[in-house]
A and B are shown apart, each in its own frame.
Chain A
């Protein structure tokens, strides 16, 4: 028989919790963009049509403004922001160029299926200065994508359309299965938007980009159903320690 002195007492390991994977991804991307020189700004989730649409050159007849796409409040006096761009509009109205802002957070659209939810998260950035151009936008996008997916990833730019940028582009990466996957939207800020924010569009130009956090998180973690993020299942959440 052994003596008392020889008894091994097991260690008690501290049980750590976990940050939500979407917030982890959002904060990681915000940290990354901060390291590029962007400042973090915040804004309300309940917005007005003026900041969410009008100032961004999204016309009254644009489908995004219809009742089937946007959640309205108080007989359309307010709405749940459909993107984080109004945060940038508010910041541009308050500050003078050069401006380099990122805003991240919850946004809302009237969708609900395996790939869309009525609430999801975005990070958007804007940079306004003299002589900002499309070739520089490409450099920034390469930096972002390489940081997120490694420098071996193949990416492509394709023309797209957003009322607030012109030229506009969407960026895809090539998956390991050989499929192109849409990652972000970007473009040169439409001069109308700068003018709306009292910025001289002859002197200044800007670039803007936006990423859907859930999409990036799904790709990076190999998750196929967006709804898994919001079931609050501990078996799911505790995987992201």
Chain B
């Protein structure tokens, strides 16, 4: 909610600075920031009472001397003979109407009204709607202004289930469906209650007689409608969060006063309908309990003083809750009020020792499996469960984010195949992935949960001179899974590349098993569960390096070493070489050519830029630099390469 600092100051006699005010609002739980002396305040959903200048000032009375009295019309008002029926008093327990006729529509607004539109950059509409909007800002009560000349028949408030058409005052045509609280005039919908009025009865620039409606709606009758119909209004925001049921008289008198500040009033009439008197909530005074909840020891006088400042009344053994505080109903709520006023940050921590129940859930098995796989070069992935296609036992989501993600996956293999292809497209040629997740299926009306492990492999066996030319195949996976988890080779499947839209030919193998079927009993070695460290701190935490979405490119260089004692020096030099855009390098080939009397060391250098696709010239410049570092070493050369 946007609030002008100067508007709020009108209610605060102490005239605090904007910084002080901001801090105090924050202490009260009203997160805020300000720019050019305009606050943008975020209220928690239980504090509908604060969504106005008066509401905020009431809360700020905890810290400042305030002046909450508004200039209101004091004279007697004639009663209005209304043709109105309330058919759903549960959804609208009280409602008032004010008919007001003016002689001339004012051309200019007084400073206080003009400032509301100007400072908050709110567009004007027409005289009565403008006052209605201002009153909502000032007092928190939304009102609706009908053009009285257009109201010629019976107004009915009711909650309906039928589908009906409604045209809003912003000229949007909506089909109302499901339960909706509405106002009708001669059976035509003229107002979607608590959200927005209709086009046919709204005021215009020429309206001189308006019928102002001021209602209290049950929030349950309003909630969800603004989202459903995409009609997010100030009124819907407030009514969803509860509006003071006990303010109609004052609001209407304030309305009249503002009209009178601007023009001559010819006639005013007022009618009020109330199903029953608003109940004033009372909570037993229980200071001991409040102190116990907070871990404090405040005195009764301080307790009383805090609550009185924010509108609570004390009578005998009870605290009377102000009519606008719908969020207060038990001692914990009272404790929160006390804590807010003390300031959460001013409450000293008290040492806590947790005495646990000793209940232990065994997650060790999953941790062991993960650690073993990571130790064997597998990278863990986590996938979203939403997929496009249905399969046996699939669970459908009633309301998916998009229709292409309607089902929960029954298998993880497809997710991992997608992960593999994604990485192959990024020039990865040695891929070993795994995921562990709960998988949910529906069988005979019952939801079945299975904790599953899925692995997938493809590409080279390793990035070293022993494994570079070998492929990850079924044999590799069979041996690994048999050794580690007692999983039979029959659980391993080859994934066909036919439907994968990929030019790469390496075979893909996957395995998906129930975690319960994994057996560690014959595992020879004790399994070390990786301890991630109980105390994490920023120093130890990996700082993420941005990854490139541009293609990488590589160069293979074969160094010949005739002076064998310099092999280590070459390897060391290459491992330490720094070059722009060199992403990684590794030794993929190493053999001794007895006939030539030299050792060949083949390195792969992978280059990638974070912000562009590298050209051959750029890569060649860098590879020249690297080669030159290598061939500086005595007895090292690259066949056919001349030093630059």
Binding site for B on A (CB under 8 A): 1-4, 6-10, 12-25, 27-29, 31-32, 35-42, 44-46, 60-61, 63, 66-68, 71-76, 78, 80, 91, 95, 98-101, 110, 112, 117-119, 127, 129, 131-140, 142, 147-150, 156-161, 166-169, 188, 190-192, 205, 220-223, 229-241
- Is B579 at the interface (CB under 8 A from chain A)? no
- Name the distance in Å between A78's Cβ and chain B's nearest Cβ: 7
> Shortest CB–CB separation between residue A12 and chain B, in angstroms?
5
Residues of chain B at interface, number, CB under 8 A: 118
Cross-chain contact B335 with A167 (CB below 8 angstroms): yes
Contact of A118 among B347, B386, B396, B534 (CB under 8 A): B386
Q: Determine which of A9, A42, A161 lies in contact with B46 in the assembled complex, contact meaning CB atoms within 8 Å.
A: A161
Selected A-B contacts with CB under 8 Å, 7 pairs: A17-B379, A40-B361, A100-B355, A135-B295, A135-B349, A167-B336, A232-B422
| Contact among B293, B380, B401, B438 for A237, CB-based, below 8 A | B380
B377 touches A134 (CB 8 A): no
How many angstroms between the C-alpha atoms of A67 and B400 in the bound complex?
10
Contact B423 A17 (CB under 8 A): no
CA distance A91 to B373 in the complex (A): 32
Interface of B is mostly: loop
Determine the chain B residues whose CB is within 8 A of the CB of A28 once the complex forms. 532-534, 536
Interface pair B223/A61, CB less than 8 Å apart: yes
Q: Which of B75-83, B84-92, B318-326, B542-550 contacts A (4 or more CB under 8 A)?
A: B542-550
**Which residue of the partner chain B has the closest CB to A108?**
B385
Residue ID in chain A nearest B571 by CB atoms = A10
Given known A-B contacts A38-B354, A167-B339, A232-B422, A159 and B344 have beta carbons under 8 A apart: yes
List B residues 133-160 near A (Cβ within 8 Å): none
- B345 adjacent to A32 (CB under 8 Å): no
> What sequence of 0s and 1s flags, for each residue 19-47 of chain B, a beta carbon within 8 Å of any chain A beta carbon?
00000001111010000000000001111
Task: Give the complex CA separation of A8 and B428 in angstroms.
Answer: 30
Task: Give every chain B residue within 8 A of A236 (Cβ-Cβ).
Answer: 544, 547
Closest to A191 in B: B332
Q: Which of B101-109, B205-213, B463-471, B498-506 lies at the binding interface?
A: B463-471
Query: Known: A159-B28, A159-B44. Is A221-B357 also a contact (CB below 8 A)?
Result: no
Whether A37 touches B353, Cβ cut-off 8 Å, given contacts A73-B398, A222-B544, is yes
Question: Do A220 and B401 touch (CB < 8 A)?
Answer: no
Can you name the residue of chain A whose Cβ is closest to the Cβ of B448? A46
Complex CA distance for A100 and B434, rounded to whole angstroms:
32
| Contact residues of A: prevailing secondary structure | mixed
A9: chain B residues at CB < 8 Å are: 590
Partner of A73, one of B376, B395, B428: B395
User: Is the CB–CB distance between A159 and B339 below 8 Å?
Assistant: yes
**A39 B358 Cβ-Cβ under 8 A:** yes
Complex Cα distance, B597 from A109, in Å, reads 67
Mark each residue of chain B from 397 to 435: 1 if its CB lies under 8 Å from any CB of chain A, else 0.
111110000000000000000110011001010011110
Mark out the residues of chain B between 352 and 406 whose CB falls within 8 Å of any chain A CB in the assembled complex: 352-361, 363, 367, 370, 373-386, 395-401
A12–B223 CB distance below 8 A: no
Asked whether A221 and B399 contact (CB < 8 A) given A22-B382, A66-B224, A166-B332, the answer is: no
Whether the Cβ atoms of A168 and B336 lie closer than 8 Å is yes
Contact: A148 with B219, CB < 8 Å? no
**In the complex, B644 has a CB within 8 A of chain A:** no
Would you call B7 an interface residue if the criterion is a C-beta within 8 Å of the partner chain's C-beta atoms? Answer: no
CB distance from B564 to the nearest CB of A (A): 3
Task: Tell me how far the C-beta of B616 lies from the nearest C-beta in chain A, rounded to whole angstroms.
Answer: 22
- In the complex, which residue of chain B has the Cβ closest to the Cβ of A22? B382
Give the shortest distance, in Å, between B482 (CB) and chain A (any CB).
19
Closest B residue to A41 by beta carbon equals B361
Q: Which residue of A lies closest to B400 (CB)?
A: A71
Q: Report Cα–Cα, A68/B228, bound state, in Å.
A: 9
Query: Across the interface, which residues of A come within 8 angstroms of B367, CB to CB?
Result: 27
- From the candidates A8, A66, A220, name the one contacting B541 in the complex (CB within 8 A): A220
For B375, the closest partner residue in chain A by CB is A16
Q: How far is the CA of A73 from the CA of B434 in the complex (A)?
A: 28
Residues of chain B within 8 A (CB-CB) of A42 are 361, 363
> Which chain A positions have C-beta within 8 A of B601?
10
Partner of A23, one of B46, B295, B380, B534: B380
B contact residues around A32 at 8 Å (CB):
534-536
The answer to whether A1 and B295 touch across the interface, beta carbons within 8 angstroms, is: no
Give Cα A127 to B400, complex, Å: 35
Closest 8 CB pairs of A and B: A159-B29, A135-B295, A37-B354, A133-B295, A2-B564, A167-B336, A161-B44, A157-B344
A147's nearest neighbour on chain B, judged by CB, is B535
Residue in contact with B382 in the complex, picked from A29, A133, A230, CB distance below 8 Å: A230
Q: Is the CB of A41 within 8 A of B359?
A: yes
CA distance A101 to B358 in the complex (A): 10
B292 pairs with A131, CB closer than 8 A: yes
Q: Which of A15, A37, A148, A205 is within 8 Å of B355, CB to CB? A: A37
Chain B neighbourhood of A40, CB < 8 A? 360-361, 363
Instruction: Identify the closest chain A residue to B358 (Cβ).
Output: A39
CA distance in complex: A137, B293 (Å): 11
A31 vs B223: C-alpha distance in the bound complex, in angstroms?
41
Q: How far is the CB of A84 from chain B (nearest CB, A)?
A: 13
Neighbouring B residues of A80 by C-beta, 8 Å: 397
Q: How far does the alpha carbon of A221 sit from the alpha carbon of B381 in the complex, in Å?
A: 17
B536 / chain A contacts, CB cutoff of 8 Å? 25, 28-29, 32, 147-148, 220
Known A8-B568, A119-B385; further 17 A-B contacts with Cβ < 8 A: A10-B601, A12-B466, A15-B464, A16-B374, A16-B375, A17-B374, A18-B374, A37-B353, A40-B363, A101-B357, A112-B401, A135-B349, A161-B327, A167-B332, A169-B344, A229-B382, A235-B548
Check A237–B379 contact: CB distance below 8 A: yes
Contact between B374 and A233 (Cβ–Cβ < 8 Å)?
no
> When the two chains form their complex, are residues A99 and B357 in contact, meaning their CB atoms are under 8 A apart?
yes
Which of B227, B399, B440 is packed against the most chain A CB atoms within 10 Å? B399
Docked complex Cα distance between A232 and B227 (Å): 34
On whether the beta carbons of B332 and A188 are closer than 8 Å, the reply is yes
Taking a contact as CB atoms under 8 Å apart, the answer to whether A19 and B349 are in contact is no
Q: Which of B428, B432, B537 has the most CB of A within 10 A?
A: B537
Say yes or no: B356 contacts A136, CB within 8 Å. no
Given contacts A17-B376, A41-B359, contact A6 B564 (CB under 8 A): yes
Could you tell me if A159 and B340 are in contact, using CB atoms closer than 8 angstroms? yes
